[in-house]
Amino acid sequence: MTRPLVLHPDRLLPADADTRAVARRLLASIEHLPIVSPHGHTDPQWFADNAPFDDPAQLLITPDHYVLRMLYSLGVSLPQLGVRPQSDADGEQAGGTAVDSREIWRIFAEHYHVFRGTPSRLWLDWVFAEVFGLQVQLEAGTADHYFDVISARLGEPAFRPRALFDRFRIEVLATTESPLDDLRHHRALRTSGWPGRIITAFRPDPVVDPQYPGFRDNLTELSRVSGCDCRSYPEYLEALRQRRAYFASLGATSTDHGHPTAATAHLEFATARALFQRVTQAQVSAQDAELFRAHMLTVMAGMSLADGLVMQIHPGSWRNHNPQLFTRFGRDKGADIPMRTDYVAALKPLLDLYGNEAALTLIVFTLDESTYARELAPLAGHYPALKLGPAWWFHDSPEGMRRFRRQTTETAGFYNTVGFNDDTRAFCSIPARHDVARRIDCGYLASLVTEHQLGESEAADLAVELTYELAKRAYRL
């Protein structure tokens, strides 16, 4: 017997009746506001080409590292989910049999119950119900029904990328690209005549992290695309300035830095030049690599102060923690694990130089929730340059968002935060994630109203700020 798929109108709102009533009113005032998505990882080619998405599995399963990591943890292999080994350019499994998308979907459906209680379940059910109009829950017995319905819809013009962008009421969406990217899809969008606003963001990790795979080859390519000789430290810096300007010319308003730690450093020019010569050799020590990353974060802050790009730091992830998985399948397959992260000491060299600059916006994220009240909220509550990014990645969840608000608001306030970032590769989940964030924020604000810390009209003002205005201002949109 199939179960109905129903999205309860009060989902995620407070259980207390009085508080829930306030939250309902707040939500009604903001739930239809446009979506501002200032940081994410969707593919700009989707919107440039505006071709139909391939099939349900390729849209909703294979690119979603939340789905991959959960199923892998329960013994489902990545090739079973359509993830190709790096040496397998033809998308075949070890036995030589091509992976069938319907079979991928059936495996997913058989295991869908394992997502109960997770944010992935909230997002996916929203997508199934609101985007594709499905009315029964996904399970083994409804797998083919789901696959057929979604496949048919993906063939309709209303389900092409640009149509969904408009349907989702997205005002602006930022993708994230390497400095080596030619941004041809963003250039195509600029001349397409379509009014949807898709912008890029500058992610320099491949050319500022000496431990990034292919770092030396990446510097050679940076030399080619910039016309600078990146064997020279001064020309390397000039190449980065040029690429930042190129990204800004195609809409970028931000940079994004995914370093292992939040370490920053301020080195004299001669010391930095000598360090650059060491990290561009074939063998690089871990100490030199960390010092160079730390120095380059400070350099990038100075560049941001000069060119106006907002700077984001996403530290604290041990990326590709599973070496066997990384060797076989590459990056971003669900094996990144949070680590303890220091901010007070780590950011001090950068803040000593630029923390008092109101013209600089430095947005800091964390995967270490123990730092919210102890480090990040006090720092953001003092330094004009510093803002707090929202609950991120593993904490992009109802309880993660509640913990963020409860631990940071009293010290940093609301206005030293930057609204919500969906930070996703899964395009159809963008409105689902924003729906969760809006509901959680309205519930939190409603609790302040019923505790008589805020008037309801003030809470209504804040609901608009948290949903829409803070992100637009912080990211200069």
CATH number for the domain including 118? Answer: 1.10.2020.10
Q: Both 321 and 353 in a single domain?
A: yes
267 with 370, same domain: the answer is yes
Kindly state the average pLDDT of the residues 51-64.
94
- What's the confidence (pLDDT) of residue 331? 84
**DSSP tally for the chain: helices H, then strands E:** 22, 9
Query: pLDDT (tens digit, 9 = 90+) per residue, 246-273?
Result: 999 999 999 999 999 999 999 999 999 9
Predicted confidence (pLDDT) at residue 97 exceeds the cutoff of 90:
no
Q: Which distant-in-sequence residues (6+ apart) come within 8 Å of 7 by Cβ?
A: 125, 126, 129, 130
Task: Please give the Cα distance from 443 to 208 (Å, whole number).
Answer: 41
Quick one: pLDDT at residue 88?
53
pLDDT classification of 192: cutoffs 50, 70, 90: very high
**Least confident span in 88-97, 157-166, 168-177:** 88-97
In a domain, 11, yes or no: no
DSSP secondary-structure letter at 177? Answer: B
User: Is residue 453 in a domain?
Assistant: yes
List the CATH number of the domain containing 406.
Answer: 3.20.20.140
C-beta of residue 189 within 8 angstroms of C-beta of residue 44: yes
Give the DSSP per-residue string, 87-140: T-TT-B-TTSPBPPHHHHHHHHHHTGGGGTTSHHHHHHHHIIIIIT---B--SG
Q: Where is the domain boundary, 159, 179, 201?
A: 159
Taking residue 1's Cβ as centre, other Cβ atoms within 10 Å add up to 3
134-148 pLDDT per residue, tens? 999 999 999 999 999
- Number of neighbours of residue 41 by Cβ within 10 angstroms: 19
Residue 89: pLDDT band (50, 70, 90) is very low
Q: Retrieve residue 411's tokens.
A: 């010290």
Residues linked to residue 310 through DSSP beta bridges, in sequence order = 254
Pair (264, 290) in one structural domain? yes
Q: Are residues 104 and 34 part of one domain? A: no
pTM for this entry: 0.95
The Cα 96–Cα 48 span in angstroms is 34
Q: Please say whether the beta carbons of 450 and 16 come within 8 A.
A: yes
Residue 459: other Cβ atoms inside 10 A: 24
- Domain shared by 80 and 192, yes or no: no
Residue 316 contacts residue 261 (beta carbons within 8 Å):
yes
Task: Check whether residue 328 and residue 457 sit in a common domain.
Answer: yes
6 in a structural domain: no
DSSP designation for 144 = H
Q: Compute CA 269 distance to the chain's CA centroid, rounded to the nearest angstrom.
A: 33
The reported pLDDT for the residue numbered 209 is: 98
| The token pair that represents 237 in the structure block | 């810096």
Tell me, yes or no, whether 144 and 238 share the same domain.
no
Q: Would residue 386 count as lying in a domain?
A: yes
Contacts of residue 289, Cβ cutoff 8 Å, sequence gap at least 6: 209, 210, 211, 279
Residue 95 has pLDDT above 90, yes or no: no
What percentage of the chain exceeds 90 in pLDDT?
95
Q: How many residues does the chain have?
A: 477
Residue 7 maps to a domain: no
Find out whether 240 and 257 touch, Cβ atoms under 8 Å: no
Residue 33: Cβ within 10 Å count: 16
Q: How many separate domains does the chain show?
A: 2
Given pLDDT bands bounded at 50, 70 and 90, which one contains residue 94?
very low
- Give the Cα separation of 360 and 223 in Å (integer): 28
Residue 114 lies in a domain: yes
Structure tokens at 401: 């968002």
Q: How many CA atoms lie within 13 A of 470 on its CB side?
A: 21
Give the domain range for residue 174: 17-51+169-474
Helices (H), 227-347: 233-249, 269-279, 286-307, 323-329
Residues 237 and 352 in one domain: yes
Query: Could you give the C-alpha distances from 98 to 36, 79, 108, 188, 327, in angstroms and in order?
Result: 39, 10, 17, 33, 21
Q: Which of 292, 290, 259 is nearest to 273 (CA)?
A: 292
Contact 444, 9 (CB under 8 A): no
pLDDT number for residue 218: 98
Where residue 452 falls (left for φ over 0; alpha for ψ -120 to 50; beta otherwise) is: left
The answer to whether residue 9 is domain-embedded is no
Span 142-164, average pLDDT: 98
Same domain, 185 and 134: no
Domain boundary among 159, 190, 218: 159
Q: What is the dihedral of CA 77, 80, 83, 89, to 10 degrees?
A: 110
Domain boundary (159, 191, 218) is at 159
At residue 90, the pLDDT reads 43
Same domain as 153, residue 215 = no
pLDDT for residue 423: 95
Sign of CA dihedral 291, 296, 302, 305: negative
In order, the DSSP letters of 3-46 are PB----TTTTS-SSHHHHHHHHHHHHHHTTSPEEE-S----HHH
In this prediction, residue 98 carries a pLDDT of 63
Whether residues 236 and 203 fall in one domain: yes
Same domain, yes or no, for 319 and 362?
Answer: yes
Residue 265 confidence (pLDDT):
98
pLDDT digits (tens, 9 = 90+) for 270-283: 999 999 999 999 99
* Helix or strand holding residue 153 (H, E): helix 143-154
* pLDDT at residue number 96: 44
- Phi, psi (deg, nearest 5) at residue 469: -70, -40
Is the Cβ–Cβ distance between 256 and 176 less than 8 Å? yes
Cβ–Cβ < 8 Å for 360, 311: yes
In a domain, 25, yes or no: yes
Q: What is the pLDDT of residue 131?
A: 98
